[in-house]
Every structure is written in structure tokens, then in C-alpha cells.
Amino acid sequence: MDEYLSGLTTETINQKTLTIDECTTEQMLHLINEQDAMVPGAVAAEIPQIVKAVDILHHVLKNGGRMFYVGAGTSGRLGVLDASECPPTFGIDPMLVQGHIAGGDKALRLAVEGFEDSAEEGIKLIDDCGVTARDAVIGITASGSAQFVIAALKKAKDVGAATIGVVNNKNSKLEPVCDVCISPVVGPEAIMGSTRMKAGTAQKLVLNMLTTCTMVRLGKTYDNLMVDLKASNVKLYDRSVRIIKAATGADDETAISHLENASMNCKLAIMMIKTGLGVSEAEHALDRCEGSLKKAIRSFTKVV
């Protein structure tokens, strides 16, 4: 028996749910819900580490680098999920934030757990992605023992990239290869070892924080409005109009006409309404302020 694995918090038996198989459906649901309620507190305890990680990611992306999520199983799927939501939410290039899972895209739908043990595949991934010293790699593994993830972070560190770990055990094998290690310990799972549950939920919360706070710092929001979203379908078009109205107080007709004049660029439409500038002038003002709408509006107000 592997002493490391047997000593992990995520692998121990939960005394609170020992007889879950004897419970009614309602009792089972209450037990799981009570365990889930522990997750936010575990994440909150890691905020000092999450702050460090966000500062690193902001620096990396602001200076032309990229961020890569690397994980296996549930952890890998969560990384791919978070990365895939960034382009429509924040209007970024899909290559800027990438999610990679051991076993490739097939592993998103089918369990190919053996790949997490392949250090060679982890190294190959970093090589194939062309990771450089300008980039950041975030390794996600509940146990902290997935060789695919550990080897990927080691290789990333060797080329000078920033390395961040998200793990659900303290003093894990992952920690020594991380510049910053975020380790929300959520305790034993309701079903022993099923880290898709509390551990996965904690990871999802952490990843939400990493990308959201990084994008906010990059000027991808105006107040708490996602002004850089892409109006690529009916729902997002409608949301863009509502965001423009909320940010400017404009009526439907004004919001729609400016959105269309701005080629469906919600942020640009708001800049035009707020300042009265034309398309090119508003674009230049935003460029001068590195895409920060609030800074651009304040800068224009000071000038006039």
C-alpha cells in the first residue's frame, strides 16, 4: 500500500457519513449538503495564497504571457471548463487561458485515469504548448500525487515559467514544485476518495477566483459588469444591451444602435455613449488605458 496515498486527507473515511447506505434519500441529501457547507471556509483560509497567485497571473497576462491549467480526471475537467469560459465572458483570445487534461480531449467524456501516472506525458504537454518563461502553469490535483501534473510543473519551472498548485492536501508532493501552492483542505469525502465532490467543488471555487480576479485587474469589467463579453448569440446580445443600459442609463434604442455601430463591442459602445466619442476615437482612448473602460472614461473627463 502506498503510504503517501493512505495518509491523505482526501483518502480517509468520513465518520459523519459511515452509514449513508442506510439513510433515506432526504437523510443522504442532508449529509452531503452538510459536508459541502465546509468547502467555502476551506477556500477562505487559502485567500492569502490565492492573492499571490492572482498577482502572478495578472503580471503574466499583462506582459504578454499565457496561463495553462494542467490536471487529470475531475481536476483536469475543471481546468478545461474554467479556461473555456474565459473567451465568451471576458472577450479574450482562446489561447490566452488554456485548459489541458491528461489523456487529451477524449478524457473530458471518458475516464482514462491511467494517464495521470505518466510523467512523460506531462513533460510532453509543456513542450507541445511551447511554454516559456513568460507564462504561468497551474497544476490541479486533489491528492497532489498525479505524476502527469507534477512533471508538467517541474518542466514549466525548468523553462522559467511561474508555477501555481491547487491541491486538497497539505504537504503534498506537488507543493515543492510550486511558486505558490493553494491547498484548501475540505476533509474526507462523503463517499471515501470521491474527490469529484468536496475537493472538486473547492477547486472550482479557486479557479473561479483565479481567472475572475485576474480579468478584473486587467480591466475586463466595468464595476461588476462583464463589458468585454462577445455578443455571439441571442442571449449574449441581449445581455450586452442590458449591460450597456446599466452602465450608461441609455434607453433600448440608444444601447442597440451604439452596440451595432461598435461592431457588437459592448465596452466600446459604453465608451462612446459615456464620452460622445466616435468609434475610432473611443478605441484609441481605450487602447491608451490598456483596455480599462473606467480609466478611459475618467481620463477623457479630465481632458475635457
Same domain, 210 and 153: yes
> Quick check: helix, strand or coil at residue 239?
helix
Nearest 5 degrees, angle CA 246-CA 263-CA 208? Answer: 55
Same domain, 258 and 290: yes
Alpha carbon distance 11, 2 (integer Å): 11
Q: 259: part of which helix (H) or strand (E)?
A: helix 252-261
Q: What Å distances lie between residue 299 and 279, 282, 292, CA to CA? A: 17, 12, 10
Q: Which amino acid is at 180?
A: V
Of 217, 250, 276, which closes a domain?
A: 217
Does the predicted TM-score (pTM) go above 0.75? Answer: yes
Within a domain: 52: yes
Query: Any idea how long the chain is?
Result: 304
Within a domain: 227: no
Same domain, 56 and 133: yes
Same domain, 185 and 118: yes
The structural domain count of the chain equals 2
Q: Has 121 been annotated as catalytic?
A: no
> Quick check: helix, strand or coil at residue 164?
strand
Alpha carbon distance 215, 61 (integer Å): 9
Catalytic residue chosen out of the listed positions 3, 26, 46, 85? 85
Of 186, 217, 248, which closes a domain?
A: 217
Same domain, 242 and 212: no
Same domain, 10 and 159: yes
Q: Has 116 been annotated as catalytic?
A: yes
Domain region containing 74: 6-217
User: Any idea which residue has 449574449 for its cell?
Assistant: 236
Residues 6+ away with beta carbon under 8 Å from 43: 184, 202, 205, 206, 209
Q: 163: part of which helix (H) or strand (E)?
A: strand 162-166
- 141 has which bridge partners? none
Of 167, 186, 217, which closes a domain?
A: 217
CATH number at residue 22: 3.40.50.10490
Within a domain: 93: yes
Alpha carbon distance 52, 208 (integer Å): 15
Same domain, 135 and 79: yes
Same domain, 179 and 95: yes
pLDDT along the chain (304 residues), means of 10: 77 95 98 98 98 98 98 96 94 96 88 82 97 98 96 98 97 96 97 96 98 96 92 90 97 96 95 96 94 92 58
Which three three-digit cell numbers place residue 240? 450586452
Within a domain: 199: yes
CATH number at residue 264: 1.10.8.1080
Within a domain: 54: yes
Alpha carbon distance 257, 254 (integer Å): 5
Same domain, 268 and 211: no
Same domain, 21 and 88: yes
Q: 162: part of which helix (H) or strand (E)?
A: strand 162-166
Same domain, 110 and 176: yes
Same domain, 171 and 296: no
Catalytic residue chosen out of the listed positions 11, 46, 116, 283? 116
